[in-house]
Amino acid sequence: MRYDAVDRILSNEQQIIPSAGFIMAVMGAVRGERAVPPPIPFPWRRALPGALAAILALVALCNHITAGGFGGQAGWVLGKFYLVHP
């Protein structure tokens, strides 16, 4: 289909007018949504210290393992991490 054919088809369309019942239903839904209380905000002040502590613990563990921690017994064997060599 060519652009001139699409333009011809779109230019001959009649104007669509919604019914009064549709408008009233939409406005009723909008008013109902406006009456709903806002959602409870996420407690970032409580969650952030715990998340930072978990990240710090993970970094400390990775640092300990890569620095030869666990008495030099840690190692990678066949792509899997073992605390002691099998």
Greatest Cα pair distance in the chain = 83
3-class state of residue 81 by DSSP: strand
Residues of the chain with pLDDT under 50: 77-78, 86
Alpha carbon 83 to its chain centroid, in Å, reads: 35
Residue with structure tokens 């289909």? 1
pLDDT in the model for residue 42: 92
> According to DSSP H, which parts of the chain are helical?
3-11, 20-35, 44-66
In the chain, where are the structural domains located?
A: 15-82
CA dist 36 and 58 (Å) reads 41
The reported pLDDT for the residue numbered 86 is 47
